[in-house]
Amino acid sequence: MIAPNVRRVEQQTEPAINEQIRQQTRENIAQLSNADLQDLSYRLAELDQEWDVERVLEMNFASLVLGGFVLGTVANRRWLLLPAIAAGFMLEHVVEGWCPPLALLRRLGFRTAAEINRERMALKILRGDFSRLGVKVEGQKASPDALLGAVDK
């Protein structure tokens, strides 16, 4: 059955790993809770450069396919199994939202685009980007959980 939504990677990840990633996001936000606009803007620029887990999977898939074809053509035809296996993993990921490399990548801390975007939006709220729209968190409510809660609304 085809995985139905954008949270399919999170749904296929062990809850403890998801919690570690959420905790790291909260810590990232907490470190910047009293930062100036320049520091917030710098972190937002870093987030724009962060590779999400899907992009890493796609890069690994393309590298394995290319490498397998080259080695299969130049060295030994048995190397052509590598692109076939990689394609099987990618198909499984597309259909189910899971593949064997995904567990390792998540353990290494690679986040989904949605997880990266949650941190981005929380920092933009902290920076005041949405204050004209009435979205703001003030005083003690400026905790990472409060900011992420405002993002999830």
Same structural domain, 94 and 21: no
Q: Are residues 115 and 130 in the same domain?
A: yes
Euclidean distance between CA atoms 102 and 123, whole angstroms: 27
Q: Is 108 helix (H, G, I), strand (E, B) or coil?
A: coil
Asked whether residue 130 carries a pLDDT value surpassing 90, the answer given is no
Span 27-49, mean pLDDT? 93
d(CA 78, CA 68): 9
Q: Are residues 100 and 118 in the same domain?
A: no
Kindly state whether residues 119 and 135 are assigned to the same domain.
yes
pLDDT for the residue numbered 38: 94
Q: Are residues 82 and 122 in the same domain?
A: no
- Flag whether pLDDT at 145 surpasses 90: no
Q: Same domain for 30 and 66?
A: no
Span 81-96, mean pLDDT? 92
State the pLDDT at residue 140.
45
Same domain, yes or no: 103 and 149? no
- The reply to whether 115 and 104 lie within a common domain is no
> What range defines the domain where residue 84 resides?
51-110
Q: What is the pLDDT of residue 79?
A: 95
pLDDT value of residue 141: 55
User: What does the buried/exposed string (b/e) look like for 128-152 if buried means 16 or more CB atoms within 10 Å of the residue's CB?
Assistant: eeeeeeeeebeeeebebebbbebbe
Q: Give the pLDDT of residue 1.
A: 57
What pTM, to 2 d.p., does this model score? Answer: 0.86
Number of domains in the chain: 2
Mean pLDDT (whole number) for 86-106: 90
